[in-house]
Structure 1
Amino acid sequence: MKHIAIYCSNTIDKKQLIQQIEKNFLSPFICKLTELQGEVYSSITIDKFINEAYKHDKIFISTDSDTTFEEMSSGQQRIALAKFIFKQNPDYVIIDDICSNVDKQTLSMVYKLFEEYLNTCLYIQIFSRINDILPYVSQVIEIDNVMGISNVFTQHEFLLKHTLTDVSKKNEYTVSHLLSEVPYFDPLVTMQNVTVAYRTKPVLHKVKWTIKAGEFWELRGPIGSGKSTLLSMIIGDNPKAYGQDMHLFGRKKESGESVWEIKKHIGYFYPKMMQLFNRETSIENMIISGFYDSIGLYIKPLDWQRKVAKEWMENLGIDYNKKNFHELSPGQQRIILIIRAIVKQPPLIILDEPTVGLDDYNISLFVSIINAIAQTKKIAIIFVSHRKEVGLQADYLFELQPTEYGSISKITKLLT
């Protein structure tokens, strides 16, 4: 069975591309798919099942414990979807962005599921990051931004052409002039022996963490290790923070601070944020809304805010000069929402899985911007991801390591 892959930028509309593939877009290279039974392994399919469950009040995919699709972690969703797909005995599977938003253990399980059917099922992979290509793909088709076929390679030829270099050298950004008035606290966050459990399930055990001004941290841990719990306690959204030995931005937790007093010092990006912004708005206004932490912009922006937003847009380049946020690809929208988190110049930014869905070019852009911010030593950064991004120059690694008592913390100073 000769498997095929499509390499594209994240300016491509994935839904439209998948529809075109199903309508024999690749007929010069493979058999006619309209005559075969196919399935789609994608976050698009996951969202579809969740929406269908809402509409029909019915569980379409579940685990042995009857957990709904929406209640599952991202890793559980991926595994459940793969198992469901192969129960349908498909002739082909379109595999979209297989490496996104899963830890190494989950990805290994997904790989094994697909390898079981290598000889009986045709795989058509869609990918935007060179390192994500599946090893058993024999042919790679590159498509342009209007879904025209630009090149066809064997996998060996493709990898020779696209040998990855240090992405940190591809773009050079200076952002110090955009970060002139960052509030100063030192330390920003301290946690001493933080222990959390939900009912009888231990999550965190005696976690210690001190984040100082201007430090750059990577936060890692397997799915279910407590990363989201830890972040929500810093942000002020988790009542489990009460009763803990924590200081946030110069104040002890439970000293009369409001949630909004905490949030004004934090810029935050998280994956589900993408679903909140469904109204038509300009890229400029989307960035400006970060000054107010609002979902949309409801007051007239000040002249200096417009000036700052335009300077950020100029830094991003011509690809981001379109008038409307929704004219951007999902990957480009992520970049804008990351800038939105930074624009108010908070002393701490938290970036939770910010690189999911980005292609190689926008990863390079992201890495360059974050490294430039880190080099100013004005803003502390917490970067959360299941994958190591080449060229990202963090100072420290904070790992959550699961035990029977809950996850414990391990801190490593990184060599940059």
Structure 2
Amino acid sequence: MAEHTVIFTDNHSDKYAFSESLLQGNPPEALSGLRSLSGALFSNARIADFIEEEARHQRSDLQPQPDRELRTYSSGERKKALLAYLLQQQPDFLILDDPFDNLDREYRESLSGQLEELARTTLLIQLASRPSDVLPCMVHRAFLEGQNLVGFPTYEPEIPSGPRITGSIPPPPGPLPELPETLVDFRDVSVAYSGRTIVRNIDWRIRRGEFWELRGPNGSGKTTLISLITGDNPKAYGQELYLFGTRKGSGESVWDIKEHIGYFTPAMADRFRGYHSVENMLISGLTDSVGLYQQPGDLQLSLARQWIGLLGMEQEREVLFRDLTEGQQRLVFCARAMIKHPPLLILDEPTAALDEPSAFLVVSLIRKMAAESRTAVVFVSHRPEPGLHPEKTLFLESGQGGSRGRIA
């Protein structure tokens, strides 16, 4: 009989193939008790599928409020909705793929309690990249080596320390745009949906070269603020919000805003499923395309190879991006977002679901980009990331009447 099992993963683990084998009734011998059972997958990838469905069809089955898009919800709110949706299907077992990733302490404690209660009636298979996330109810332990389960049932993980990024970041491809010193200026900005205020009276100024962390619990409005900056949220109209010297709603297009922003969130990985090499992925950051579909110039090739050298990925230069580990993909994505030295670089949960050594390496790269450029960097997080050390932090503090901002 199968029992609750935690399966440790790293960035070489093929979680997708392994989860599919369990859901299709083809588990490894150690989990043979799952063969006759029905299962469901609780993961960020599953949420991303619903967001993609919503973008294509203007609706999805995972849309709690008809007048609000799923992508505007916090990570905690999305996971709460997904769990309720999956439990309606009454699965015999539930695969929990890094269930606490992207969650603050309050949401983690709430979800942990809910899952512990669920464990009384439903078999849980937890995939965990960080040992601190393991649920107390787990009985067996193993490690996912590629697609193979090893060390069952008593595996104990070792946590090595990760290396740092050394060397200097490459130069920009050309002259930087002439912009005011203050790139983003929120003046008493408030946003509400369906009568519920999300953020209230936000005052926040981002200047050239500053290194910010935007931190707050799930549902506090981090996603809302970022969508106001990137031009993706119509709630910005009518607000006293200035982006790159222009008041929002004064005739600018969304592309006038986006040309000044480098942006990365792990959900972007689903858009890059083609056969693109690492080198071409970096060059595509210069052409603002999903992959590369034209012959690159000498300057583009030179810059891409300098970034590849900085990342220590010379051996992977011609490797397909899709074949990299998740940690390597995050490094490439961060470099791709930075390759033009945009005035503003927004990194939304860039270490989500990474094992600790890979997260440490990504943080090392981000610190270097912030220290060695005039780019303003905003690192979005729900909890402190070891080794980040931003210059300033905007804390969103939830309360009645919406979240307020506190700068430290």
Q: What's the offset of the Cα at 1:60? A: 5.7
State the alpha-carbon separation in 2 of the partners of residues 222 and 236 from structure 1.
23
CA contact (8 A) 2:51 2:71 kept: no
TM-score by length of 1: 0.82
**Partner AA of 1:118 in structure 2:** A
CA 4–282 in structure 1, closer or farther in 2 if over 3 Å, else same: same
State the alpha-carbon separation in 2 of the partners of residues 57 and 234 from structure 1.
23
Q: What's the offset of the Cα at 1:47? A: 5.3
- Residue by residue over 1:12-65, the C-alpha shift from the partner in whole angstroms, topping out at 9 and shown as x without a partner, is 33221113345454423x4521133433322344456678899999976675x7
2:264 equivalent to 1:269: yes
State the alpha-carbon separation in 2 of the partners of residues 69 and 252 from structure 1.
25
Q: What SS does the aligned partner of 2:200 have?
A: strand
State the alpha-carbon separation in 2 of the partners of residues 105 and 315 from structure 1.
38
Q: What SS does the aligned partner of 1:188 have?
A: strand
Percent of aligned positions that are identical: 38
Q: What SS does the aligned partner of 1:35 have?
A: coil
Runs (5+) with no aligned partner, structure 1 = none
Q: Which residue is equivalent to 2:134?
A: 133
Q: What's the offset of the Cα at 1:347? A: 2.2
- Residue by residue over 1:119-146, the C-alpha shift from the partner in whole angstroms, topping out at 9 and shown as x without a partner, is 443322112233322233243212323x
Q: What SS does the aligned partner of 1:115 have?
A: helix
CA contact (8 A) 2:5 2:140 kept: yes
Q: What's the offset of the Cα at 1:398? A: 0.4
Q: Which residue is equivalent to 2:387?
A: 391
State the alpha-carbon separation in 2 of the partners of residues 226 and 235 from structure 1.
14
CA contact (8 A) 1:216 1:394 kept: yes
**Partner AA of 1:260 in structure 2:** W
State the alpha-carbon separation in 1 of the partners of residues 209 and 55 from structure 2.
43
CA contact (8 A) 1:214 1:376 kept: no
2:212 equivalent to 1:217: yes
CA contact (8 A) 1:191 1:208 kept: yes
Of the candidates 367, 373, 379, which is equivalent to residue 371 of structure 1?
367
2:165 equivalent to 1:172: yes
Q: Which residue is equivalent to 1:11?
A: 12
Q: What's the offset of the Cα at 1:98? A: 0.8
TM-score by length of 2: 0.83
State the alpha-carbon separation in 2 of the partners of residues 79 and 259 from structure 1.
31
Of the candidates 332, 345, 351, which is equivalent to residue 349 of structure 1?
345
State the alpha-carbon separation in 1 of the partners of residues 50 and 247 from structure 2.
43
CA 51–268 in structure 1, closer or farther in 2 if over 3 Å, else same: closer
Q: Which residue is equivalent to 1:27?
A: 29
Of the candidates 392, 403, 409, which is equivalent to residue 405 of structure 2?
409
Runs (5+) with no aligned partner, structure 2 = none
Q: What SS does the aligned partner of 1:116 have?
A: helix
Q: What's the offset of the Cα at 1:303? A: 0.8
Does 129-138 or 40-49 show the bigger shift?
40-49
Q: What's the offset of the Cα at 1:205? A: 2.3
CA contact (8 A) 1:82 1:113 kept: no
Q: What's the offset of the Cα at 1:409? A: 1.2
CA 131–316 in structure 1, closer or farther in 2 if over 3 Å, else same: farther
Q: What's the offset of the Cα at 1:193? A: 1.7
CA 261–77 in structure 1, closer or farther in 2 if over 3 Å, else same: closer
Question: How many residues are aligned here?
Answer: 402
State the alpha-carbon separation in 1 of the partners of residues 343 and 53 from structure 2.
41
Q: Which residue is equivalent to 2:93?
A: 92
- Residue by residue over 1:323-374, the C-alpha shift from the partner in whole angstroms, topping out at 9 and shown as x without a partner, is 3222234554333222211011112100112222323332122111001112
CA 269–53 in structure 1, closer or farther in 2 if over 3 Å, else same: closer
Q: What SS does the aligned partner of 2:227 have?
A: helix
Does 326-335 or 4-13 show the bigger shift?
326-335
CA 211–66 in structure 1, closer or farther in 2 if over 3 Å, else same: closer
Q: Which residue is equivalent to 2:148?
A: 148
Of the candidates 324, 328, 337, which is equivalent to residue 328 of structure 1?
324
Q: Which residue is equivalent to 1:77?
A: 78
Q: What's the offset of the Cα at 1:115? A: 0.6
Does 347-356 or 123-132 show the bigger shift?
123-132
CA 331–357 in structure 1, closer or farther in 2 if over 3 Å, else same: farther
Q: Which residue is equivalent to 1:361?
A: 357
State the alpha-carbon separation in 2 of the partners of residues 50 and 234 from structure 1.
20
Q: Which residue is equivalent to 2:312?
A: 317
